[in-house]
Amino acid sequence: LQAAFADAFRRHGGPVAAVGSDCPLLGPREVEALWGCLGRRTARQAGPPPTDAALIPATDGGYAAIALAAPLPEAFEGIPWSTPGVLAATLDRLRGAGRAVGVLAPLPDVDRVEDLAPLAEALTADPGRAPATAATLARLGIGASSGVRERLPQRLGDRVLPDALGRPVPLGPIPRRILSLVPSVTECLFDLGAGARVVGRTAYCISPAEEVGRLPSVGGPKTVDPTAAAALAPDLVLANAEENDRGQVEALAALGLRVHVAFPRTLGDAARFLEDLGVLLGEEGRAHGCAARLREAAARVPGPPVRAACLVWKDPYLTASSDTLTAALLAASGAENAVGGLPGRYPEISGGDLAGCRPRVVLLPSEPYPFGGADAREVEQAVPGATALLCPGEWLTWYGCRIPEALAGLRRLLDPFRGSAAP
């Protein structure tokens, strides 16, 4: 938002407004009211003195629109995004900076299935408003008093959710028997309250230890036994495009199993995966909460940056380029990826070439290769001036609800090196 406003002011002057796309009741009269608050009124309009900013609150604690008369970076700094405190924090920041703020009437936005009934009620009270939305709700049989959650699964039972491979995954029915082929996803299922529905895992699914220890294994992530997997009669299989063998995943789909394949490479991807998983599981509330905490943690990037590299394998050394979730986690931890420009996702690199990239820190995670103390000493000899740091592999490769915890750990690890460069 801050970058978009800065660009708009630079190109066109002001005022500038941004409106949300999840609020069907926001129309021309609301935009006109925003301009009115900022003093852009017609000759027929009257009102109080112009303000520096104007907002239309949303009923979820955020806002549906914001307009600024001039660039105000404080409107976007230090805000707990994707939480119910967005509006309050924004008002505090603006008013604390001495800005005059106009606050208009709140509008309902649509984030969850439960938000559709209040929207239908608002449209009933104001005929002619948002006609396309009203027509859609009418076709679905959703009115102000309808039991929306009870009606949607029957009416939208043929809805699908595209996975990372573009495959349409049916949304219904809510799964009762889940097979997870990804360690971080297995852990995430328990975090989202769906652990009791997990009936199978891979040998590498280790968390939560006590619970997964009681579950049968169907092999390794790339050595799944389709017969053993099918014998568990799962009604949802969760896989990853990189961690699992595509042929084995397609074999499971060919057996008629519902298979969802994820492939997050950015923290935005990881947050959207959580939200998609919540929809698949019928656990939207918990999933949205986890996604919001992830986005909030990712927005707090510490500085100054530490020039760093991460090795993921040995003999030969493989590192993580910019097109990986590992690189995204490093960036959000306040690290500059010293090898980010190399081609490929996990390019091979020699000790001499790594030294030429001049990292201040070289991270050695515990997986997929189990780096240890001897490896750290070897890296420090090959890369003069760099410090090799061992860390849990889960911090740099697992996705799910644990990402805020991983970012906190990585930031603590890198903090002593901020502001220093390799000699």
Residue 198: burial class (beta carbons within 10 Å; 0-12, 13-18, 19+): buried
Q: Which residue has the tokens 């397609």?
A: 250
Q: Do 334 and 411 meet the contact criterion of CB atoms below 8 Å apart? A: yes
pLDDT tens digits, one per residue of 85-101: 788 889 888 988 899 88
- pLDDT at position 421 is 61
Angle at 213 between CA 209 and CA 218, to 5 degrees: 120
Cβ distance 398 to 373 under 8 Å?
no
Mean pLDDT of the chain: 87
Crossing angle (nearest 10°) for helices 267-281 and 284-299: 170
Whole-angstrom Cα distance, residue 118 to residue 384?
A: 63
User: In this predicted structure, what is the pLDDT of residue 21?
Assistant: 87
Maximum Cα interatomic distance, the chain, rounded to a whole number of Å = 79
pLDDT value of residue 144? 56
The residue written with tokens 């070897």 in the block is 378
Confidence band, pLDDT 50/70/90 cuts, at residue 139:
confident
Mean pLDDT of 233-254: 92
- The yes-or-no verdict on residue 336 having pLDDT over 90 is yes
What percent of the chain clears pLDDT 70, i.e. is strictly above it? 93
Q: Please tell me the predicted confidence (pLDDT) of residue 37.
A: 87
Tokens of 314: 């040995």
pTM over 0.75, yes/no: no
- Judge whether residue 188 has pLDDT over 80: yes
pLDDT at 157: 44
Torsion of CA 381, 386, 390, 396, to 10 degrees: -130
Q: pLDDT tens digits for 273-283?
A: 999 999 899 88
Q: How many CB atoms lie within 10 A of CB 158?
A: 9
In this model, does residue 117 exceed pLDDT 80?
Answer: no
- Residue-wise pLDDT for 61-76, tens only, equals 789 999 999 999 999 9
DSSP codes joined into one string, 281-306: HT-HHHHHHHHHHHHHHHH---SS-E
Give the tens place of pLDDT for each residue, 30-39.
Answer: 888 888 888 8
Instruction: Give the helix ranges, DSSP H, for 162-283.
Output: 183-191, 209-212, 226-231, 246-254, 267-281
- pLDDT at residue 116 in the model: 82
Q: Is 98 left (phi over 0), alpha (psi -120 to 50) or beta?
A: left
Per residue in 354-384, pLDDT (tens digit) is 999 999 999 999 999 999 999 999 999 999 9
The whole-number pLDDT of residue 67 equals 94
Of 163, 237, 249, residue with least CA distance to 200: 237
Task: Give 422's pLDDT tier (boundaries 50, 70, 90).
Answer: low
CA distance 98 to 279: 42
List the structure tokens of 21: 């796309």
